Amino acid sequence: MDIAGDNIKAKNANWQFSGDMVKNFEEHIKRSIPYYHDGHKLVESVSDFFIKDDSNVYEIGSSTGQLIYNLSKRHSHKKAASFYGIEIENDMYEFAKKRYQNENLEFLHEDINLFDMKKSDFIISYYTVQFIHPKQRQLLIDKIYNSLEWGGAFVMFEKVRANDARFQDIITTLYMDFKLENGYTPDEIVAKQRSLKGVLEPFSSNANVDMLKRSGFEDILTIFKYLNFEGILAIK
Protein backbone atom coordinates (compact mmCIF):
# COMPACT_ATOMS: atom_id res chain seq x y z
CA MET A 1 0.00 0.00 0.00
CA ASP A 2 1.46 3.38 -1.09
CA ILE A 3 0.55 6.96 -0.15
CA ALA A 4 -0.62 9.16 -3.05
CA GLY A 5 -0.45 12.39 -1.01
CA ASP A 6 -2.80 13.96 1.55
CA ASN A 7 -2.76 10.72 3.58
CA ILE A 8 -4.59 8.89 0.79
CA LYS A 9 -3.68 5.21 0.49
CA ALA A 10 -3.47 3.81 -3.02
CA LYS A 11 -2.91 0.36 -4.50
CA ASN A 12 -1.56 -0.43 -7.95
CA ALA A 13 -4.31 -0.06 -10.61
CA ASN A 14 -6.93 0.35 -7.89
CA TRP A 15 -7.70 4.05 -7.33
CA GLN A 16 -11.02 4.40 -5.52
CA PHE A 17 -13.30 7.27 -4.51
CA SER A 18 -14.25 5.72 -1.18
CA GLY A 19 -13.04 5.01 2.33
CA ASP A 20 -10.72 7.28 4.28
CA MET A 21 -9.82 9.35 1.22
CA VAL A 22 -13.27 10.99 1.11
CA LYS A 23 -12.57 13.40 3.97
CA ASN A 24 -9.32 14.51 2.28
CA PHE A 25 -10.69 14.58 -1.25
CA GLU A 26 -11.35 18.31 -1.61
CA GLU A 27 -7.84 19.24 -0.48
CA HIS A 28 -6.26 16.52 -2.62
CA ILE A 29 -8.12 17.46 -5.79
CA LYS A 30 -7.37 21.17 -5.31
CA ARG A 31 -3.64 20.40 -5.20
CA SER A 32 -3.83 17.86 -8.03
CA ILE A 33 -5.89 19.64 -10.72
CA PRO A 34 -4.78 23.08 -11.94
CA TYR A 35 -7.34 25.86 -11.44
CA TYR A 36 -9.81 23.40 -9.91
CA HIS A 37 -11.90 26.00 -8.09
CA ASP A 38 -11.51 28.51 -10.92
CA GLY A 39 -13.17 25.88 -13.09
CA HIS A 40 -16.02 25.67 -10.58
CA LYS A 41 -16.48 29.43 -10.79
CA LEU A 42 -16.47 29.28 -14.59
CA VAL A 43 -19.17 26.58 -14.60
CA GLU A 44 -21.23 28.66 -12.17
CA SER A 45 -20.95 31.73 -14.42
CA VAL A 46 -21.83 29.75 -17.56
CA SER A 47 -24.90 28.34 -15.78
CA ASP A 48 -26.48 31.81 -15.70
CA PHE A 49 -27.18 31.52 -19.43
CA PHE A 50 -29.09 28.23 -19.17
CA ILE A 51 -30.75 27.70 -15.77
CA LYS A 52 -34.34 28.95 -15.78
CA ASP A 53 -37.05 29.19 -13.13
CA ASP A 54 -38.21 25.60 -13.75
CA SER A 55 -34.93 23.95 -14.80
CA ASN A 56 -33.63 20.53 -13.81
CA VAL A 57 -29.87 20.59 -13.29
CA TYR A 58 -27.64 17.52 -12.90
CA GLU A 59 -24.04 16.99 -11.95
CA ILE A 60 -22.78 13.58 -12.99
CA GLY A 61 -20.24 12.29 -10.49
CA SER A 62 -20.87 14.96 -7.87
CA SER A 63 -18.24 13.53 -5.45
CA THR A 64 -18.35 15.60 -2.22
CA GLY A 65 -21.12 17.80 -3.67
CA GLN A 66 -19.33 21.14 -3.63
CA LEU A 67 -20.06 22.25 -7.21
CA ILE A 68 -23.74 21.29 -7.42
CA TYR A 69 -24.27 22.85 -3.99
CA ASN A 70 -22.72 26.13 -5.16
CA LEU A 71 -25.01 26.08 -8.21
CA SER A 72 -28.08 25.44 -6.05
CA LYS A 73 -27.18 28.45 -3.89
CA ARG A 74 -26.45 30.68 -6.87
CA HIS A 75 -29.87 29.97 -8.36
CA SER A 76 -31.86 29.63 -5.13
CA HIS A 77 -34.08 32.56 -6.18
CA LYS A 78 -35.41 30.40 -9.03
CA LYS A 79 -37.99 28.68 -6.85
CA ALA A 80 -38.95 25.80 -9.14
CA ALA A 81 -35.40 24.91 -10.28
CA SER A 82 -34.15 21.55 -9.01
CA PHE A 83 -30.54 20.47 -8.57
CA TYR A 84 -29.35 16.86 -8.45
CA GLY A 85 -25.94 15.43 -7.65
CA ILE A 86 -25.56 11.89 -9.02
CA GLU A 87 -22.83 9.83 -7.33
CA ILE A 88 -22.14 6.11 -7.63
CA GLU A 89 -19.78 5.87 -4.64
CA ASN A 90 -21.76 5.47 -1.42
CA ASP A 91 -19.09 7.08 0.79
CA MET A 92 -19.04 10.19 -1.39
CA TYR A 93 -22.84 10.26 -1.50
CA GLU A 94 -23.14 10.06 2.30
CA PHE A 95 -20.47 12.73 2.77
CA ALA A 96 -22.16 15.13 0.34
CA LYS A 97 -25.62 14.55 1.76
CA LYS A 98 -24.43 15.49 5.26
CA ARG A 99 -22.12 18.37 4.32
CA TYR A 100 -24.04 20.25 1.63
CA GLN A 101 -27.74 20.84 2.13
CA ASN A 102 -30.18 23.15 0.38
CA GLU A 103 -33.93 22.89 -0.10
CA ASN A 104 -33.60 22.78 -3.91
CA LEU A 105 -30.76 20.21 -3.86
CA GLU A 106 -30.92 16.42 -3.77
CA PHE A 107 -28.08 13.91 -3.87
CA LEU A 108 -28.79 10.58 -5.58
CA HIS A 109 -26.82 7.39 -5.00
CA GLU A 110 -27.08 6.08 -8.55
CA ASP A 111 -25.10 4.63 -11.44
CA ILE A 112 -25.49 7.21 -14.22
CA ASN A 113 -25.34 4.44 -16.82
CA LEU A 114 -28.57 2.99 -15.39
CA PHE A 115 -30.26 6.20 -14.22
CA ASP A 116 -32.92 8.01 -16.25
CA MET A 117 -32.61 11.77 -16.01
CA LYS A 118 -35.52 14.16 -16.30
CA LYS A 119 -35.53 16.66 -19.15
CA SER A 120 -32.83 19.17 -18.20
CA ASP A 121 -31.45 22.57 -19.09
CA PHE A 122 -27.96 22.15 -17.65
CA ILE A 123 -25.83 19.03 -17.09
CA ILE A 124 -22.28 19.02 -15.73
CA SER A 125 -19.55 16.40 -15.75
CA TYR A 126 -16.57 17.80 -13.87
CA TYR A 127 -13.67 15.36 -14.47
CA THR A 128 -16.01 12.36 -14.40
CA VAL A 129 -16.43 10.98 -17.94
CA GLN A 130 -12.73 10.05 -17.93
CA PHE A 131 -13.54 7.41 -15.29
CA ILE A 132 -16.39 5.87 -17.32
CA HIS A 133 -15.30 2.75 -19.19
CA PRO A 134 -14.63 3.65 -22.85
CA LYS A 135 -17.17 1.07 -24.07
CA GLN A 136 -19.92 2.92 -22.15
CA ARG A 137 -18.77 6.47 -22.82
CA GLN A 138 -20.59 7.16 -26.09
CA LEU A 139 -23.79 5.72 -24.64
CA LEU A 140 -23.50 8.14 -21.71
CA ILE A 141 -22.98 11.17 -23.96
CA ASP A 142 -25.95 10.04 -26.07
CA LYS A 143 -28.05 9.86 -22.89
CA ILE A 144 -26.95 13.36 -21.85
CA TYR A 145 -27.83 14.79 -25.27
CA ASN A 146 -31.25 13.14 -25.25
CA SER A 147 -31.92 14.35 -21.70
CA LEU A 148 -31.31 18.00 -22.55
CA GLU A 149 -34.02 20.38 -23.64
CA TRP A 150 -33.39 22.24 -26.90
CA GLY A 151 -31.08 25.11 -26.01
CA GLY A 152 -29.81 23.27 -22.94
CA ALA A 153 -26.12 22.85 -22.25
CA PHE A 154 -23.65 20.16 -21.26
CA VAL A 155 -20.40 21.27 -19.60
CA MET A 156 -17.67 18.64 -19.59
CA PHE A 157 -14.29 19.11 -17.92
CA GLU A 158 -11.78 16.35 -18.66
CA LYS A 159 -8.16 15.43 -18.45
CA VAL A 160 -7.10 14.86 -22.07
CA ARG A 161 -4.32 13.19 -23.98
CA ALA A 162 -2.21 15.14 -26.46
CA ASN A 163 -2.45 14.48 -30.19
CA ASP A 164 1.10 13.09 -30.54
CA ALA A 165 3.87 11.63 -28.39
CA ARG A 166 6.05 14.75 -28.30
CA PHE A 167 3.27 16.97 -26.97
CA GLN A 168 2.22 14.21 -24.54
CA ASP A 169 5.77 14.14 -23.14
CA ILE A 170 5.75 17.91 -22.72
CA ILE A 171 2.43 18.19 -20.92
CA THR A 172 3.15 15.12 -18.75
CA THR A 173 6.41 16.69 -17.56
CA LEU A 174 4.81 20.08 -16.97
CA TYR A 175 1.99 18.45 -15.01
CA MET A 176 4.55 16.60 -12.87
CA ASP A 177 6.27 19.94 -12.20
CA PHE A 178 2.89 21.36 -11.12
CA LYS A 179 2.47 18.56 -8.57
CA LEU A 180 6.01 18.95 -7.26
CA GLU A 181 5.46 22.69 -6.84
CA ASN A 182 2.30 21.88 -4.85
CA GLY A 183 4.32 19.86 -2.36
CA TYR A 184 3.88 16.28 -3.53
CA THR A 185 6.93 14.06 -3.38
CA PRO A 186 8.12 12.02 -6.38
CA ASP A 187 7.05 8.84 -4.55
CA GLU A 188 3.54 10.22 -4.00
CA ILE A 189 3.25 11.25 -7.66
CA VAL A 190 4.32 7.78 -8.84
CA ALA A 191 1.97 6.08 -6.37
CA LYS A 192 -0.98 8.10 -7.67
CA GLN A 193 -0.07 7.40 -11.29
CA ARG A 194 0.25 3.66 -10.62
CA SER A 195 -3.10 3.57 -8.83
CA LEU A 196 -4.87 5.15 -11.83
CA LYS A 197 -3.79 2.47 -14.33
CA GLY A 198 -6.90 1.11 -16.01
CA VAL A 199 -9.10 3.43 -13.91
CA LEU A 200 -8.54 6.83 -15.53
CA GLU A 201 -8.69 6.59 -19.35
CA PRO A 202 -8.55 10.07 -20.93
CA PHE A 203 -9.43 10.63 -24.58
CA SER A 204 -7.78 13.29 -26.72
CA SER A 205 -9.50 16.65 -27.25
CA ASN A 206 -10.46 15.62 -30.78
CA ALA A 207 -11.89 12.31 -29.59
CA ASN A 208 -14.06 14.07 -26.99
CA VAL A 209 -15.39 16.50 -29.59
CA ASP A 210 -16.06 13.65 -32.02
CA MET A 211 -18.00 11.84 -29.30
CA LEU A 212 -20.12 14.92 -28.66
CA LYS A 213 -20.80 15.32 -32.39
CA ARG A 214 -21.82 11.68 -32.77
CA SER A 215 -24.43 12.16 -30.04
CA GLY A 216 -25.93 15.12 -31.93
CA PHE A 217 -24.19 18.20 -30.53
CA GLU A 218 -23.22 20.74 -33.19
CA ASP A 219 -22.46 23.87 -31.14
CA ILE A 220 -19.26 23.04 -29.21
CA LEU A 221 -16.78 25.47 -27.64
CA THR A 222 -13.64 25.02 -25.54
CA ILE A 223 -14.07 27.34 -22.54
CA PHE A 224 -11.05 26.26 -20.49
CA LYS A 225 -7.62 24.87 -21.32
CA TYR A 226 -4.51 24.39 -19.20
CA LEU A 227 -1.98 21.72 -20.16
CA ASN A 228 -3.91 18.41 -20.26
CA PHE A 229 -7.02 19.79 -18.55
CA GLU A 230 -9.89 21.06 -20.65
CA GLY A 231 -13.44 22.35 -20.31
CA ILE A 232 -16.00 22.12 -23.13
CA LEU A 233 -19.41 23.74 -23.47
CA ALA A 234 -21.83 21.91 -25.80
CA ILE A 235 -25.29 23.33 -26.53
CA LYS A 236 -28.18 21.29 -27.93
C-alpha–C-alpha distance, residues 81 and 104, integer Å:
7
Domains of the chain, earliest start first: 33-161+202-235 (3.40.50.150)
Give per-residue pLDDT as tens, 101-115: 999 999 999 999 999
3 state SS of 161: strand
Give per-residue pLDDT as tens, 94-149: 999 999 999 999 999 999 999 999 999 999 999 999 999 999 999 999 999 999 99
pTM of the model: 0.93
What kind and span of H or E run contains 181?
Answer: helix 165-181
pLDDT at 25: 81
22 exposed, middle or buried (CB, 10 Å; 0-12, 13-18, 19+)? buried
Residue 159 gets which letter from DSSP? E
C-alpha–C-alpha distance, residues 60 and 128, integer Å:
7
